[in-house]
Structure 1
């Protein structure tokens, strides 16, 4: 029987272990890489969600409806009081629009932008809004708390604007009277009209809702 020297046996054992050691090293490298990726993923800030201001169900939607579009006063998201390309803005009363733009310019210094949820509307658009309100609220009386008729609506005459977002209405609630811009209805914090006398005497007392406004009784 041939005797194998101890040094040879040691070398043989090392040779047999080399594949195992190599496999362990590969597994360790892969595990470390996965762990690094996982830590980076969990520590990286999540992509911000698209933000949108709260929009109560009774605020006018900007998307066209019933075949009506921008020519009737519908506005897409993101329209500001400076966007003359939209009739909802351009067809507002001149003095109201001037006051809005003065206020919006000053509000921008506070990081606040005025968006137009709704401005001037055609009679057809106003009637469509009213029909939808009756369907949503179940009666003409309840709908009248939110949407006027085409004959009485200050939107149709270009004398009212619905402002978004909530930080803009909050800003106007505090500063609007300085520009003659007043919230008219307590249930509609987005609805503003021009009251020039408010610059010196503050805004008049708000109506609870449009049904309390004498103009709506015509």
Structure 2
């Protein structure tokens, strides 16, 4: 009798495990792929020395926040942008992780090459990654904030600090627009290809 109970319990557990495994596989395989800029920025290996550029070129290790004073991607941001980010983060009650901030021209070009390889054309890659000559990351005027709780807070309150989402397809990308403090953020572009700054 006890043996039958053990076998029955094993069969039930095996069935549940198989069903759960199929459900996880199904849900993970149906998720849309991340854009290359996001995939590379949220990768657990983003802190590797990509092409020898590493942190000095703008790569960001996991766990970096807007208060980090040792990572060039944070310290090389425009001082006014960094000040606004830190003030907002202090008031938000959520952590503002930095997925990407300032980038060297070499690192930006590497990200663009990766995007072209991923998407198969320069036109499609341009929806996600700018050239080194046009990217606000290279000038230190843009930051990609990690985790949905922080971007949700910025979406609701960022304008009070002049922090605005610029592109509809990039809810993590923020730039400083000081006029937003009194007039709200400007209308977003669908993606970077609609931004006149990218046409230079």
TM norm structure 2? 0.79
Residue of 113, 121, 124 corresponding to 1:142? 124
Q: Which residue of 1 aligns with 2:55?
A: 70
**How much has 1:67 moved relative to structure 2?**
1.7
Q: How many residues align?
A: 161
1:95 to 80, 96, 99: 80
Tell me the CA shift for residue 84 of structure 1: 1.1
Q: What are the ranges of 5 or more consecutive residues in structure 2 without an aligned counterpart? A: 1-32
Say whether the 8 Å CA contact 2:35–2:128 is kept in structure 1: no
Runs of 4+ in 1 over 2 A off after TM superposition: 55-58, 60-64
Where 1:216 maps in the other structure, the secondary structure is: helix
**Is 2:173 the counterpart of 1:191?**
yes
Consecutive unaligned residues of structure 1, counting only runs of 5 or more, are 1-54
Using the TM superposition, give the Cα deviation of residue 68 of structure 1 relative to its aligned residue in structure 2, in angstroms: 1.5
Deviations 1:59-95 (A, max 9, x none): 1423331121000010111000000100000000000
TM-score (structure 1 length as normaliser): 0.72
Asked if 1:217 corresponds to 2:199, the answer is yes
